[in-house]
Amino acid sequence: MKTSSCARSLLLGFILLTLNAFNNLAIAQNSILIKNIKIIDVENGNIQKGKYVIVKNDLIKSITNKKPSGKFDIEINGKNKFLMPGMVNMYTHVNEDNLWLYLANGQTTVKDAPSHLTALGLKKRIQNNEIIGPRIFAVGLRATGMPAPYHSQQPVTTPKEAINQLREAKRLGYDGMFIYASCNKETYQPIIDEAKRLNFHISGHFPQNVELETALNSTQKSFDNLTGVTRRGKLRLDKEKFISGLLENSQAITPTLTVHRLWANSDKKDSIYTTIPKEYIPNKMKSNWLPVDNGSGSYPYKEVASLIKELYQRGVQLYIGSDGGYPMVVNGFSYHDEINNFSSLGIPNSEILKIATIQSANFLGYENLGLVKEGYLADLLILNKNPLKDISNLKTINHVISNGKPLSKKRLEDELATLKNKIKNPKDRFSKWQEITNTWKKDSILKYQLKNNDIIVGEELINIDKKDERNFNLEAINVMDGPDSRETYLFAKVINKQMDSLYVKSITPEGVYEATLKRNQNIVKISGIAPFHGNFTYKEEWVPGTLFLGPFTSRYFDLDITANYVLAMLLKRNLRENQADQLPVIQIELNSEEFGKKLIIDNSEYTILNTTENNFKIIYKGFSGYRAITSGSFVIDIETDKNNIPKKIMDDTKTIELQL
């Protein structure tokens, strides 16, 4: 194991260096002259005509009435065009496949919430000029008092856990911490107190288990998407106390009306799915959006819209966020839907522009962002038409300048076309792994396709080097498509039908994870390195028959690594019909939404039931958030061949099939 893992590590390191060498090609910073353009003063809602704007590196260097002398790397003719600050999406979800969707739709800053390490990795790469993307304000980790929407988010139940998680969020480099509606009253106040001490941003849902006065007197800066504020569209709080508290404490609402409007149109999900630009949605995400059935359409959107209109009229600060990534809500594009929702409430165009730029920038703590002003960050939009006259003119983008980088309309369109083609025609997923796969015997390679709703979302190659039935090595390469794409190499060593060791290396948008599990009598030592967390070493008790597993970390396809199921089938006892075996499990977690030990390791138990010949069920309580809390269990159906090799692995709409 040791020699093999070192060799693989060197090769994978070479692959990573090659990728980084490509990604680290410097994105040139240019001096830009924008000539004879009309500047939209978003603070005052007026137009300044005939301006010449110089951008140097990432700042607006000067604004003059006459053309300046000198040479510039790029000159942009601004005649009959309009210059305004880039817009801020105040509630959305970023991944490696949607960065250009935001830029192409004029959003040069995004607030990612609730956030995880993928966003931190992308943020770092953008800041280092390795890739181009919007400015990212990442709000994570999260405080929840019960299992959250994703299986990987476990509850925080004590003040000590809450404080430690907030401190870890700050240490990791998050810009703030996210509050779920389920955050309990025992943890909410300690989080607020610690955040105040550390001057750390807090936003998220309204904590519905906390008294109204407590939440309104806290330093939580905003309550997002009305979760905890309304229930099935009905206000669940005392309206007057709620509004007066928001005003008194300068707290804001980001309503994400686009999602509420979708709920009201749930009886039209089929037609909505056919009209959205889903060609830009990664297959792994898109496969979860397929409308299974239509709802009643009875959600009271008019009441929700009326509440938000009253909040605006009473002076409560509103922000524009799209919740991009929510089913049927396409990242970037949906921001304009939310702008239309604001407009339909009677909010003037000038106010919408102010909310989308300077007010949002100030809220996030950017002191030199959100205005076309000397010394401010060069996040800018050049529009062909005036949005003060018609708010839909925000779509008439001629150029985007993102952190000083000029992106023409053609460049934006080319990047969208590249993304579209990548999704429609994925390249050979194993092209970077040929030096490993070429060492495998061709007739011993198992190839699996991973599907959700019959859409391929990833593939896996497995090679089993058997000395005999009780002693073998297993190698696997798993490639999952985006979002949250991951390429994982796994090497398992089995001695006398017992797990001896496991090595995992996973290449992700946030960086590279590496972990080794090594058994020594009754102790398992777990060591490695994780992005942002650094080096780690843990020890776990080893029970005979324990199964070591690779990571299950995909939000959109939680079957994930096929090698885990292959190992389980090979290591189970011989079972007659209706007999079961139980295997203790130590799992490499690598879950970017957790922290500390939970990021690295988790424990559970597999019950393997033989239902009929060559048909089995794996039953387990789950990992992370659902472990030992859920009333039910997860059930995986597995069909094997006569050699106990899985041919088909099924879970609800998800299927892994062996390609013959």
pLDDT in tens, 579-625: 999 999 998 888 776 767 777 888 888 999 999 999 999 998 765 44
| Residue that terminates a domain, selected from 354, 387, 422 | 422
Helices (H) and strands (E) in the chain, counts: 18, 32
Per-residue pLDDT at 20: 44
Per-residue pLDDT at 621: 74
Per-residue pLDDT at 557: 79
pLDDT-derived band at 152, boundaries 50, 70, 90: low
Same domain, 246 and 205: yes
- Record the pTM: 0.92
Same domain, 533 and 596: yes
Got the DSSP string for 128-192?
Answer: TTSS---EEEEEEEEE-SS--SSTT-----SHHHHHHHHHHHHHHT-SEEEEPTT--HHHHHHHH
Residue 555 token pair:
């939000």
Residue bearing tokens 């106990």: 644
Instruction: Round to whole Å and give the CA distance between 637 and 568.
Output: 13
Return the higher-pLDDT residue of 320 and 623: 320
Strands 222-224 and 252-254, sheet pairing: parallel
Three-class HEC string of 233-256: CEECCCHHHHHHHHHHCCCEEECC
Per-residue pLDDT at 18: 42
How many independent structural domains does the chain possess?
Answer: 2
Nearest CA to 54 among 105, 43, 37? 37
- Residue 255, domain member (yes or no): yes
| Residue that terminates a domain, selected from 372, 401, 422 | 422
Strand partners, 121: none
pLDDT-derived band at 145, boundaries 50, 70, 90: confident
pLDDT-derived band at 148, boundaries 50, 70, 90: low
Q: Average pLDDT of 11-37?
A: 59
For 292-301, write each residue's pLDDT tens digit.
Answer: 778 899 999 9
Position 638 pLDDT exceeds 60: yes
Angle subtended by helix axes 239-248 and 301-314, to nearest 10: 40
For 525-536, write each residue's pLDDT tens digit.
Answer: 999 999 998 999
At residue 569, the 3 state secondary structure works out as helix
Say what percent of the chain tops pLDDT 90: 80
- Residue 12, domain member (yes or no): no
For 506-521, write each residue's pLDDT tens digit.
Answer: 999 999 999 999 999 9
3-state helix, strand, coil in the chain (%, to 5): 30, 35, 35
Position 150 pLDDT exceeds 90: no
Instruction: Round to whole Å and give the CA distance between 49 and 46.
Output: 10
Instruction: Round to whole Å and give the CA distance between 215 and 189.
Output: 9
Residue 154 burial class via C-beta count within 10 angstroms: exposed 0-12, middle 13-18, buried 19 and up: buried
- Give the chain's mean pLDDT: 91
Instruction: Round to whole Å and give the CA distance between 425 and 110.
Output: 28
Angle at 428 between CA 416 and CA 482, to 5 degrees: 50
For 97-128, write each residue's pLDDT tens digit.
Answer: 999 999 999 999 999 999 989 999 999 999 99
Q: Average pLDDT of 364-382?
A: 98
In the Cβ-directed half-sphere of 628, how many Cα atoms lie within 13 Å?
7
Same domain, 221 and 331: yes
Instruction: Round to whole Å and give the CA distance between 285 and 557.
Output: 9
Handedness of CA 162, 165, 171, 174 (dihedral sign): negative
Residue 296 belongs to what domain range? 32-422
- Residue 465, domain member (yes or no): yes
Per-residue pLDDT at 554: 66
- Residue 589, domain member (yes or no): yes
Strands 580-588 and 486-495, sheet pairing: unpaired
Return the higher-pLDDT residue of 15 and 169: 169
Strands 547-549 and 580-588, sheet pairing: parallel
Do residues 361 and 129 make contact, with C-beta atoms less than 8 angstroms apart? no
- Identify the CATH number of the domain in which residue 241 sits: 3.20.20.140
pLDDT-derived band at 21, boundaries 50, 70, 90: very low
- Residue 122, domain member (yes or no): yes
| Residue that terminates a domain, selected from 398, 422, 446 | 422
- Residue 80, domain member (yes or no): yes
For 202-253, write each residue's pLDDT tens digit.
Answer: 999 999 999 999 999 999 999 999 999 999 999 999 999 999 999 999 999 9
pLDDT-derived band at 6, boundaries 50, 70, 90: very low
Q: Average pLDDT of 188-200?
A: 97
At residue 296, the 3 state secondary structure works out as coil
Residue 660 token pair:
């013959």
Residue 22 token pair:
């490509």
Residue 389 token pair:
């006259």
Residue type, 202: I
- For residues 349-384, one letter each, b for 16 or more C-beta atoms within 10 angstroms of the residue's C-beta and e for the rest, the string is bbbbbbbbbbbbbebbebeebbbbbeebbbbbbbbe
Three-class HEC string of 470-511: CEEEEEEEEEECCCCCEEEEEEEEEECCEEEEEEEEEEECCE
Three-class HEC string of 501-553: EEEEEEEECCEEEEEEEEEECCEEEEEEEECCCEEEEEEEECCCCCEEECCCC
Do residues 525 and 508 make contact, with C-beta atoms less than 8 angstroms apart? no
Q: Average pLDDT of 432-447?
A: 93
pLDDT-derived band at 22, boundaries 50, 70, 90: very low
Same domain, 416 and 458: no
Do residues 173 and 532 make contact, with C-beta atoms less than 8 angstroms apart? yes
Instruction: Round to whole Å and give the CA distance between 99 and 107.
Output: 10
* DSSP, res 211: -
- Residue 16, domain member (yes or no): no
Same domain, 83 and 219: yes
Same domain, 516 and 440: yes
Same domain, 313 and 371: yes
pLDDT-derived band at 560, boundaries 50, 70, 90: confident
Residue 634 token pair:
């997860």
Strand partners, 387: none
The number of residues in the chain equals: 660
Same domain, 132 and 170: yes
Same domain, 397 and 498: no
Same domain, 407 and 518: no
- Residue 6, domain member (yes or no): no
Same domain, 417 and 433: no
Position 427 pLDDT exceeds 90: no
Same domain, 54 and 153: yes
